[in-house]
Structures are given as C-alpha cells and as structure tokens.
Amino acid sequence: MTRPEIQQLQDQQAYLTAAVRALLEGQWCGGPPSGQAFVGALDPNLTIDCREPILESETPPEINYPDPNESMPGQLYSWTCSACACDWLMRAYGKGFNPADIYNSREQTVYAIGYPNNINSSYGLMDGSGSQLQRVLGDVGIQTAQAWLTFDQVYAIAAQGRAGCMSGGAWYHWCGIRGVDGDTIWIANSAPGYMSVWNNLNRTDFNRLGPFSCVIVTEA
C-alpha cells in the first residue's frame, strides 16, 4: 500500500520523465505527448508560452561549395567540350575520376557519358540539354537541375556560389560556371577565345550565343 503523498510524487516524476522525453524527441508544444502537455499536467494552473526550437530534422543540409578556382586546361579535341565541363564540375567538388591526371579524368568522363552513342567526334554531345551530363554527375553524388535560363538567372545563381555547366545554342560549346566577376559570369572555358569568349561571359555575349541550357548543382 503506497501512501497518497508518495503516489502523487511518483506520478509527478512520471510526468517529468515524459516531458523530458518529449523534448528529446522534438515534441515541444501542443497537445500530448508534448513537453507543454506534460508540464501542463503537472500544474494545470501554468500558463505556458511555448516556443518551438528549430530541430535537427528541420535544418537544411549544408551546402557543399565547389572550388571555383579548379583548373580548366584547354581541350585536346574539338568535340569534348561537354566532357571537359562535366569533368571540371566533378573536380571542383573533389569528385573527379582522376584528380591527378586531368586528361585521363576527361577521357573517363567521355566514356561515362557514353561514347559513341551519347558523345562522339561527329556531333559532340548528342543531347544538347545535358541530360547525360546530369546522369554522370548524379552517379558521383552531384544532384543537378536543368533549365534554359536567362543571363540574370544564371548570374544570380552563380553569385550564390553555386556551380554548374551550360551550353549556348549558337555557341555550340559547353563551359563550367565558376561564379561571377563584376557584371559578368565567370566561366571555366576549355576553349578560351572560341567565338571571342575567354574566362568571362557578359550579357551581350550571353544573348549572342544563347539560348543557354544550364545544368545547375542543387546538392553535392
């Protein structure tokens, strides 16, 4: 037989334990089983101005920023610009096939894209939207989204430190997106000087060489 006073203390202890468990499990406010509800059960006269914290499950994943200064040597073959851009993007995230040998890394990228069905010396990249590049990037853990973007849209994305690669329809050339430089988009260009574009793409060139299919990294 337990005395009523002791029984009451045991019940209160159980409520306290339940309240602490609720907080640990991220259930802070509202009805049971929340911390607010159990504390309210301990003392119904309490007025609780409950405020929810941001929980670990609610925090967005950290953005893994690429190295915008990753090198981009000139391409050896005229049809490999897409592979060079894709390979550059993987290396910028530390996920290149062979970081010690860029040309070997590019060769592996060509085969990963799918030589000769998806990329070849006659046409370059067969699907100009970049779907095969997205697949290769996804296979190494770089998730991307594709869209046909304006200069202002690409500039805004690049200014946030998000990388990607893009191809201009009239340019017929793929490059990497390093960031921004003044009022231009700072690019990783494997064919510097081709159609008068080196390391920067300004608004005039963008409009002259577009439309641009852009493959932008969303998670890496």
Partner 1 sequence: MDEQEQAQITQLQQQQMMLTQALKAALEGRWVGGADTVEGWLLAIDPGLTGELSPDPPSYS
Give contact residues for partner 1 (rule: CB under 8 A): 2-3, 6, 9-10, 13, 16-17, 20-21, 23-26, 53-59
Nearer to partner 1, 29 or 147 (CB): 29
> For residues 57 and 196, which CB has a smaller minimum distance to partner 1 in the complex?
57
Give the nearer residue to partner 1 in terms of CB position, either 18 or 83.
18
Q: How far is CA 24 from CA 69, 120, 166, 167, in A?
A: 43, 56, 46, 49
Quick one: 23 or 147, whose CB is closer to partner 1? 23
Nearest to 207 by CA among 177, 185, 182, 192: 185
Residue 183 CA neighbour count, 13 Å, CB half: 4
DSSP state of 217: E
Q: How far is the CB of 20 from partner 1 (least distance, A)?
A: 5
Least distance in angstroms from the C-beta of 50 to partner 1: 14
Residue 142 CB, shortest distance to partner 1, in Å, is: 23
| C-alpha distances out from residue 157 to 37, 138, 177, 191, Å | 44, 20, 10, 23
Cβ of residue 23: shortest distance to partner 1, in angstroms?
Answer: 6
Residue 23 or 126 with smaller CB distance to partner 1: 23
- In this structure, how many other beta carbons lie within 10 angstroms of the beta carbon of residue 141? 12
Query: Do the Cβ atoms of 165 and 175 come closer than 8 Å?
Result: yes
50: left (phi over 0), alpha (psi -120 to 50) or beta: beta
Rg (CA), the chain: 27
Alpha carbons 147 and 173: distance in angstroms, whole number: 16
CB of 59 to partner 1, least distance (A): 4
Residue 2 beta carbon to partner 1: minimum distance, rounded to whole angstroms: 7
Both tokens of 171, joined, read: 């340019």
Our CB check for partner 1 shows the closer of 21 and 101 to be 21
